[in-house]
Amino acid sequence: MELDLEKIRLEIDKADKELARVLETRLDLVMQVAAYKKSKGMPVKDVVREAKVINKVVGYLENDKYAPAMRSIMRSVIDAACELEEAELSEEHNRTLKIGCFGPEGSFTHQALEEYFHDKNYERAHHNTFEEVVNAVSKGELNYGVLPIENSSTGGITEVYDLLRHYDCSIVGEQCVKIEQNLLGCAGASLQTIKKVYSHPQGFKQSKEFFKDYPQMEQLPYFSTSKSAEEVAARQDITIGAVAGKKAAELYGLRIIAPNINYNSNNYTRFVIIAKNPELVPGADKITLIVAVKHEAGSLYKMLASFYHTGLNMLNIESRPMEGKSWEYFFYIDVTGNVNDPLVKDLLDEVREKCTYCKLLGNYRAFAPRE
């Protein structure tokens, strides 16, 4: 007998309608649970309860082959419910946040801040150095800070790694921004008139191939790309230029003399959102930690083998020298996972046993573009 596709789809539509009704009822009950937890000061997450709920629902199935799919569906349902509870319980849902970023208005960090906190109320503060941001967060003067930590063309921004360890701050989120560097100048400026160019060292690194064709242009490191644009706009001198983004050009009324001068067209910077204390949100799937191992043969290999044997994906590793100890290093590691996962807990215990130093910098949601 030939199947009737339209008839099957109508039945699916009926099932979806019933599913929506049932899920809405479940979410109403979840909000009642949130109100109870708020009155009792209880945490949102209850890993043991969540596991029992998933197993119970899977047990209701008549067809066992659907069990993996049902586990995945229920995990998503519970994570979404936890997000609703977090929003209900969080004071930040109704208050104005204080958020600081590196660089002035119009910088790429400013753009990352706006994109990450697009649905929050906040007051924005701009700082001239990475350390100013981290220090203000560690003192509780800011709720959050936004800092660049890695560029797809030039690698990790080592100063930020060192500051996070020194000031004992936590990573609670991340945002990626596509970076398009441009040579900017005032009215009348051109490739022929510009003799000196200002930018942050990262801006020059990302545009190094462009400047090989213009050796007469002296590269002068400055506080930030946007601050460089501000300086050029203030001086109105056709002999100076800046490497900065399009937003900075618009903000300070500068012309784009040469567009997209970064040598890698697929040029992205990853920014981290930092806070004074750790935060674990539903759906957290990325972990950053700092480790150090004994200065002896095989110690690093043995530690890294733990990640391989647990099957977790290591996304990045950066080394930074230990102050006062020649040829000894801290290692900053990004890996997939959630600290509530028993497998991840076992991994972290194993890593701690193999290290002389181990600190969890944060467990947060990996960046995913908004649809």
Cβ atoms of residues 185 and 255 within 8 Å: yes
Tell which wins on pLDDT, 235 or 5: 235
Task: Give the CATH number of domain 182-258.
Answer: 3.40.190.10
User: Residue 41: its pLDDT value, please?
Assistant: 62
Query: What homologous superfamily is domain 5-89 in, according to CATH?
Result: Chorismate mutase (1.20.59.10)
Residue 41 backbone zone (phi > 0: left; psi -120 to 50: alpha; other: beta): left
Amino acid at site 232? V
User: Residue 94: its pLDDT value, please?
Assistant: 67
What fold, for 283-366?
Alpha-Beta Plaits (3.30.70)
Cβ atoms of residues 221 and 99 within 8 Å: no
| 95-178+266-279 and 182-258 in the same fold | yes
Is the pLDDT at 39 greater than 80? The verdict is: no
Distance CA 103, CA 127 (A): 6
Residues involved in catalysis: 269, 271
Distance CA 289, CA 307 (A): 13
Residue 243, beta-bridge partner list: 183
Q: For the chain, give the number of residues.
A: 371
Is the pLDDT at 92 greater than 60? The verdict is: no
Is the pLDDT at 272 greater than 60? The verdict is: yes
Is the pLDDT at 43 greater than 80? The verdict is: no
User: Residue 106: its pLDDT value, please?
Assistant: 87
Q: Which two tokens stand for residue 270?
A: 């990853």
Q: Starting at the edge strand that comes first in sequence, how are the strands of the sheet with 196-199 ordered?
A: 218-221, 196-199, 240-244, 182-185, 255-258
What fold, for 95-178+266-279?
D-Maltodextrin-Binding Protein; domain 2 (3.40.190)
Cβ atoms of residues 97 and 121 within 8 Å: yes
User: Residue 2: its pLDDT value, please?
Assistant: 73
Enumerate the domain spans of the chain.
5-89, 95-178+266-279, 182-258, 283-366
User: Residue 84: its pLDDT value, please?
Assistant: 84
pTM given for the model: 0.71
Burial of 33 (0-12, 13-18, 19+ CB in 10 A): middle
Number of C-beta neighbours around residue 212 at 10 A: 9
* Share above pLDDT 70 across residues of the chain, in percent, rounded to a whole number: 96
Distance CA 150, CA 147 (A): 10
